[in-house]
Structure 1
């Protein structure tokens, strides 16, 4: 009888131990790496082999920043199509467009990118980087209002003298990658001088990938041999702004950014067919 009681006690003890172990399971390696990401120890040289470029990653909750190639990070370049982000904010704020569904009709002029040759909404123009839509919206905003708002948000050198529908395209307006990361952080935190619903709309239009454990927001830009990819990424418990600028294309800049985010488990499912 005593042996039977001891055996029952032993089984109960084993069950309690198993329950305790399962209740304190450590986080996965990916989550642990993500939670404890040390920006000072990032290694990204491999992504810039034989290529001049810079990469900035800012932990917006810990307020810590990693910069690869500090000299280029502080050099100003034309924003190219990354200016579609502030252009959208300004256009919505002043009523040049009503919302992300506001349609502009194609003028029938054939342009080099086929998807541009059709009517577009503000949202589809952002996703497809439709230059003519944003040029038309900039003209509707007008030089005075555009200048006022570019100054209000302290965007780069704030110089729009290159023409109301050209100043951001290899023209007078210049911004550094560091300034881009600052601007993206301000947009993420909704600290810019725009209405909250305006900022939320633009952020929604910037979504590029949305998975269970992260959401990626971004905008590309390229011209005059320069490629940009800027934005921010939200994970389960972290948020990072980023800016990549390279001598190359926007596709190259975006691929470099995503490869770095993947390496450090900020996009754990990227490239795995999900």
Structure 2
């Protein structure tokens, strides 16, 4: 009789365990999907044609994956990725009023057709219009620019290469790791700028949106170097990313998007 009672209890426990597994498994699966284990990312396949580095950092717990650690710690000219801090500084000091502030084309024909027209702060970020951000840098001036580059500890903080040239294959240098740090701090809005300034710059960095993700990014290119930096919000998580390669910014962006798609951080 005692054995029968024990058997009955065992059967009840087994049934309960099966029921719990059935009820919990969907949420557990979703949790596993959301909780990306960045330590297991494999990205070698995306760098078969380029020497480069890739960094992905989960914002919530700062878990970081680095491909090619040596290059990740080398400093390079930021090129047009500097448009992000440039926009933050320009807005903060009043060199531009908002994302709709227009600068008028000077009539000089440049190599990229879309640059040959009037632009706003937002459209100049979207199309990486160098002349707009050079003009804004001149309006900011060397003293204020140096003050703010130092305040945000941006790379080597060296703007000696000229107020409208220092970030373009010149004196200013920043490592991919430092870029990832900066992008993470921007996402968390922990930079020493007014909140409305930070939110404006984040808004004009948006490059793609899906049902459950928003991609923020900025390219940079020059002297055989390609950058793509930014962050992505996916469901209730966020990740900063940096790709830096010997190649073009288009290649760097495509590598980044391919990796994000492979690990289901954005749609195919």
The corresponding residue for 1:5 is none
The corresponding residue for 1:192 is 191
1:27-85 deviation per Cα after TM superposition (whole angstroms, max 9, x unaligned): 697x5553131111110000001421000000010211000000000000000000000
1:166 aligns with 2:126: no
1:48 aligns with 2:39: no
SS at match of 1:257: helix
TM-score normalised by length of structure 2 = 0.90
The corresponding residue for 2:221 is 222
- In 2: Cα distance, 1:98 partner to 1:265 partner: 38
Tell me the C-alpha RMSD between the 2 structures: 1.8
The corresponding residue for 2:96 is 97
Alignment of structure 1 residues 115-194 onto 2, 5 Å: 115-194=114-193
- In 2: Cα distance, 1:230 partner to 1:69 partner: 16
Residues 34/253 of structure 1: CA separation in 2 closer, same or farther (3 Å cut): farther
1:223-242 deviation per Cα after TM superposition (whole angstroms, max 9, x unaligned): 00000000000011210001
- In 2: Cα distance, 1:129 partner to 1:33 partner: 37
TM-score normalised by length of structure 1 = 0.88
Alignment of structure 1 residues 1-274 onto 2, 5 Å: 26=26, 31=30, 34-267=33-266, 269-270=267-268
Does structure 2 conserve the Cα–Cα contact (< 8 Å) formed by 1:34 and 1:264? no
Q: How many residue pairs were aligned? A: 250
- In 1: Cα distance, 2:28 partner to 2:221 partner: 38
Does structure 2 conserve the Cα–Cα contact (< 8 Å) formed by 1:34 and 1:266? no
- In 2: Cα distance, 1:57 partner to 1:165 partner: 31
- In 1: Cα distance, 2:31 partner to 2:260 partner: 15
SS at match of 2:74: coil
- In 2: Cα distance, 1:50 partner to 1:24 partner: 44
SS at match of 1:173: coil
Q: Which runs of 4+ in 1 moved over 3 A?
A: 20-25, 31-34
Structure 1 unaligned runs (5+)?
1-19
Structure 2 unaligned runs (5+)?
1-19
- Tell me the CA shift for residue 210 of structure 1: 1.1
- In 2: Cα distance, 1:68 partner to 1:202 partner: 28
Does structure 2 conserve the Cα–Cα contact (< 8 Å) formed by 1:220 and 1:250? yes
